[in-house]
Amino acid sequence: MISFGKKIAILRKELSLSQTELAKKLNTSVSVISRYERDEMTPSIETAKKLANLLNSTVGYLLGEMEDDNILKEPEILNRFKEINNLDDIDKERVFFTLDALIHEINNRKRYANS
């Protein structure tokens, strides 16, 4: 599993941000960002929330709350999960049915493309 600090570094680099730029956005010093990334220091919950927001991610992803924590990397995916969760049971079943059909179709296309 990738550590909290490594995830911060990876996400920062994906956004082409330097440690200095991230530090300015977080209103802290470069040395603090560096210590986070080396897992020498952990931020407060509030700072972790700000970091996740600045890095276009979620606290759940940064903390590795799930075995397959990449699911939580993108806020858009997490927001969709929340929206589905708020539906009534009948609408949830409709969404699941549609998703299952789409996933099945995509997997079939991949199989035939590789044949």
Q: 37-74 pLDDT, tens per residue?
A: 999 999 999 999 999 999 988 888 888 765 455 666 77
Mean predicted confidence (pLDDT) in 93-106: 91
Query: Which of left, alpha, beta for 16 (phi over 0: left; psi -120 to 50: alpha)?
Result: left
**3-state class (DSSP) for residue 41:** coil
In terms of phi and psi (left: phi > 0; alpha: psi -120 to 50; beta: otherwise), the region of 28 is beta
Residue 32's Cα: distance from chain center in Å? Answer: 22
Q: What's the pLDDT score for residue 80? A: 87
**Whole-number pLDDT of residue 66:** 56
Q: Which two tokens stand for residue 79?
A: 């927001």
The conformational region for residue 56 under phi > 0 = left, psi -120 to 50 = alpha, else beta, is left
Average pLDDT, the chain: 88
- What is the CATH superfamily name and number for domain 4-70? lambda repressor-like DNA-binding domains (1.10.260.40)
C-beta separation of 14 from 59 below 8 A: no
- Tell whether the model's pLDDT for residue 111 goes beyond 90: no
Give the global pTM.
Answer: 0.62
Q: Mean pLDDT throughout 90-98?
A: 92
